[in-house]
Structures are given as structure tokens and as C-alpha cells.
Structure 1
Amino acid sequence: MTARDLAALPAGAPPARRFGPGRTLRLGLARIAYETRLYFRAGDTVFFTFLFPVVLLSIFSVAFGSLGEVGAGPDGTGGISQAAYYLPGMIAAGILLSGVQNLGVDIAMERGDGTLKRLAGTPLPVLSYFIGKLGQVFVTSLAQVALLLLLAQLAFGVDLPTDPASWFTFAWVYLVGIVTAAVLGIAISRLPRSGKSATAVIIPPLIVLQFISGVFLSFTMLPGWLQAIASVFPLKWIAQGMRAALLPESFAVAEPGGEWNLPLVAIVLGIWLVAGLVVCKVTFRWIRKDT
């Protein structure tokens, strides 16, 4: 915020309420650029949230490439490459990391090191702060998805869908998934008791969730009780929606119930989105009385 911005504030008005919607939006857009620069300057964050799915897709595609096509018939036809098979799961994992892990750890650390307290002493509106955080998630996540798709197509020869229906499914699953993941990231940022414990509290459960949600392993390979646990959480449904968008229709028989069940994907993600918004509203504190 510049000195000119501060000078334009009406005297005596509460800090968080001096800005109109236009200036709040402009400050939020400026925060997006600021948050994105900070994100890419943190090497560990870039590797474990942005590049991690890219690295895993490369490893799985090379390591399991000798196993042949996935889903091929007895005559050797009808299958897809290992890269094509793992691509939906890596995109789903990237959504989880970009939203839940990134924001969960980041906001917890900002609370622990006093950043939120210092921001509370400035006229920055709470809405501008969250526009910055959510915008950074969208920018970095979209870049990650583009990188995964380009890697799959150019390096491993994956044939991406050509029909508009598949890309429409991809678009709405991605949008609902990333918004839900971002909101849940803000919600779980209250779990760590300190900024130093944020990575230890948030990252291990997310790793376990990836293993039981059909990201690294075929979902139907898991015991029924693990499938039931994973089905409670949104990652399983994001991965299922991405498989519906990117895999051939014949692969639907490998899903529970033998179909993609996209309406249920939308319902479960919608429930998690609403629940996350409620938790954010109840638990997030800006440490400023007027907000």
C-alpha cells in the first residue's frame, strides 16, 4: 500500500472499512502478484507443492513403462500408457497440494511469525488479503496443470482428449476442486499450534490421503474399509472426476459401481466447500475488533 493510498483514507474511519469495493479489489489484485512472487521465491514450497506432481509423473511413467499398456485387451490393443494412466491422479494431487497444503502451511506460519498481527495493524481489508491468497493458488495451480499436460503430451506422447465434453468435465472438476482445496487450506491453518509445527501437522495426513484416494494406486485395489475412509474426503472425488475427463470411457468399469458418477463428485465437493467456508467463518481471526 502506498503513502498516496493511506493519505486518501477518510479521517476517523475504521481501518478495514475505509476502502470501497473498487480499491479493495485493486489491493487484492496487487496482493496476488505479491503472494505469487513470494511463492516462487521459496524453493522448498515450489518443489513440494508445484513440482512434486511433475516429478512423480515423470518417475512413474519411466519406472512402470516396461509394464506395458494399462487396460490393454488380450490382443494387446485398447490400452493407454502409464503416463496417461497416472496423469489424472497427478493433477488431482497438484490441486490438493496447491490449495490445502500450500495455504494451510502458509497461513499457519504467517500467524505464528506475527505476519497476520502486523497486517491487522494496517488498513489492508481482510477481503484483499484473501483475494491475494486465493489468486496465488489459482495462478500457480493453473501453471502446474499446464506443465503436467505439456509434459505428458510432449515427453511421454499422451493423447489428450479432443472432444469438448471431456474438457468441460475437466474444467468444472478443476474449478470446484481448486476452490474447495483452497477453502479447506484456510480452514486447517488453525490446526497447528505454532508456525514451526505447521508442516509436521499438515503434510503427513495429506501424503496418506494421496495413497488411499486413487492417486498412486488404483482405488479398487484398496481394501473396502480404506475405500470407505477415502470416500469421505474430497481428493478421491477430484481424482475420479479427472479420470472421467482424461481416461477412455472403458476405464469407468474400474471405478466403484462401474461408472464415473460425476453428479456424486459434484455433490461431495460441494458439501466440502460449504463445510470449509463455515469453518473459515467460525475459526479465522484477523486480530482486529472492527472485522
Structure 2
Amino acid sequence: MTDLAMPSTLRLGLSRGALELKTFIREREAVAFTFAVPIILMVIFGTIFKGRVEGTNVDFRQYFAAGIIASGIASTTFISLGVGIAQERDDGTLKRLYGTPMPPSAYFIGKTISALVLSTAETVILFVLGGVMFGLRPPSTPERWFTLVWVFVAGVTVCTLLGIAVSSVPRSGRGAAAVLNVPYLVLQFISGVYFTFSSLPSGVQQAGALFPLKWICQGLRSALLPDTLLPAEPAHAWEHGRIALVLAAWGVAGFALCLTTFRWKRRDDG
């Protein structure tokens, strides 16, 4: 008898991705937190904020909507992956998977597919809501569509890598949500999600510019909002080259952190 060939890593990764999505959908609390929170924030703050971005004719609610979409990408990747992987390590799931013939890379492919699908779904939901409530419009040119796609893909990639990397930070799965939501909430306030970035104090701007969320927000604004917003941007330009450079640097750093910090076992397992 001949040995049965193992499925390819890609095929296993795709199967793992489908399983991840099914598991996520069955966990109603996770679905509600991941999708409902950005939607609720968009509705609440969208009814509070009024007027135009200072020095422009752009509705501030459209500026805010673009930031919430970027924040939603981070929620479905950085937070969901970081918390989910920490919990899987805590309950022994990772240890059991590591002991199977499945290549470790298939596990990460599955996580990446899940993050991409969920991020796409949330982005579509938030965009539609922003269009209905605030008049947010699709990109007006092929170039802006291209910008939207590459910023979205780069943002999902970076936040996915960072979510996998930081999953080793919490000491237990129970505390993972609390540990990871603190930096996530801080970054929202210093990255131009809730406030016009140029209106923040200079020191806060410099701190926010060190992290990828600020650049994802700026990239999405460049795709979804008119050039009449440029006077409100700190550099008075969209800085696509700098956005790509910063996100690429964070992608490399995130990948390196994944290789050096990821653990399949709990700390007390030795």
C-alpha cells in the first residue's frame, strides 16, 4: 500500500481559515464585540459631532467615519487575534495543534484568512453606515480605489502580524482582552480617529505618528475624502509614500516579533 499524501500547506490553511470563521460566528459575544462596538461608536459620536473640519468644507463626520473604519480594521485583527490566540494557548488548543501533523504555517494562514474576511465585512458595514448617516462616498477615481485597496491590505497585514505577536504578552487568556484593549484605546485617541489629527498637541501627534493606526487612518482619508481636506492634514499632503514606508516597516517588525515571541505553550508548561 502507498502512503496517502498529506494535503498541501495552503489547502490546510484554507480549511483552517474556514474553521476559524465558523468558530467565530458561533461565539455570539465575540461577534457582538468585534462588529457592534465600532458601529455603536459611529452612531453615537456621529450624532454628537457637527460642523466642518476646520479650514475645509469637509463634514467632520466623514472624517470621523474614515477613522472608525481604520479602527475597525484594528479591532478585527490586532484585538481579535491577540485575544483569541492567547485564549487558545491558555486552554491548550495551541499545544494540541502543535502536536499534530499540520504544518504550523497552516495555522497562521487560517488566522490571516479569518482576519481578512472579518475585516472586509466590517469595513463594508461601516462604509455603508457612514454613507447612510454622513454621506460618505466611494472613491471617485481608479487611483483612489487603488489607494483604498492597498492601504486596506497593508493595514490588515500589519495589524494581523502585530495581533499574533502580542498574543504572547498576556499572562493568561482571561486577562488578554483587558491587556490588549488598553493600547488599542489609547491609539484611537492619538491617531486621528475621534479628533482631527492636526488639532492634537504636537507631542501627541509625534507619538501617534510612530504607530500604524495613524497612517491607516490617513491612507483611508486620502481614498475616501476630497483633496479639499488637505489643509487640515499636518503635512498638507496625503504622503502616500510615507504611509507605505511606515506600514512596510511595521510589517517587517511585526513579522520579526512573531518569529521571536510566539509561543505554542503556556509559560507554566515549560
1:110 aligns with 2:88: yes
Deviation of 1:82 (Å): 4.1
CA distance in 2: counterparts of 1:40 and 1:68, whole angstroms: 38
Q: Give SS of 1:58's match.
A: helix
1:24 aligns with 2:9: yes
Over 3 Å counting, the alpha-carbon distance change for 1:69 and 1:222 in structure 2 is closer
Is the Cα contact below 8 Å between 1:86 and 1:215 reproduced in 2?
Answer: yes
1:52 aligns with 2:37: yes
Match of 1:122, as an amino acid?
T
Is the Cα contact below 8 Å between 1:71 and 1:251 reproduced in 2?
Answer: no
Runs of 4+ in 1 over 3 A off after TM superposition: 7-10, 68-73, 80-83, 154-157
Over 3 Å counting, the alpha-carbon distance change for 1:71 and 1:225 in structure 2 is closer
Deviation of 1:200 (Å): 1.6
Structure 2 runs not aligned, ≥5 long: 266-270
Structure number with higher relative contact order (C-alpha < 8 Å, ≥ 6 residues apart): 2
1:68 aligns with 2:51: yes
Is the Cα contact below 8 Å between 2:55 and 2:232 reproduced in 1?
Answer: no
Q: Could you say which structure has the larger radius of gyration? A: 1
Alignment counterpart, residue 206 of structure 1, candidates 180, 184, 187: 184
CA distance in 2: counterparts of 1:275 and 1:239, whole angstroms: 20
Over 3 Å counting, the alpha-carbon distance change for 1:161 and 1:34 in structure 2 is same
Number of aligned residue pairs: 265
Match of 1:270, as an amino acid?
A
1:249 aligns with 2:227: yes
Alignment counterpart, residue 105 of structure 2, candidates 121, 124, 127: 127
CA distance in 1: counterparts of 2:130 and 2:188, whole angstroms: 20
Deviation of 1:63 (Å): 2.2
Q: Which of 35-44 and 264-273 deviates more?
A: 35-44
Q: What is the aligned-residue RMSD (CA, Å)?
A: 2.0
Which residue does 2:170 correspond to in 1? 192
Which residue does 2:237 correspond to in 1? 259
Q: Give SS of 1:256's match.
A: coil
Deviation of 1:72 (Å): 7.3
CA distance in 1: counterparts of 2:191 and 2:132, whole angstroms: 27
Alignment counterpart, residue 149 of structure 2, candidates 160, 171, 176: 171
Over 3 Å counting, the alpha-carbon distance change for 1:129 and 1:8 in structure 2 is farther
Deviation of 1:85 (Å): 2.1
Which residue does 1:277 correspond to in 2? 255
Deviation of 1:59 (Å): 1.7
Structure 1 runs not aligned, ≥5 long: 1-6, 11-17, 74-78
Match of 1:154, as an amino acid?
V
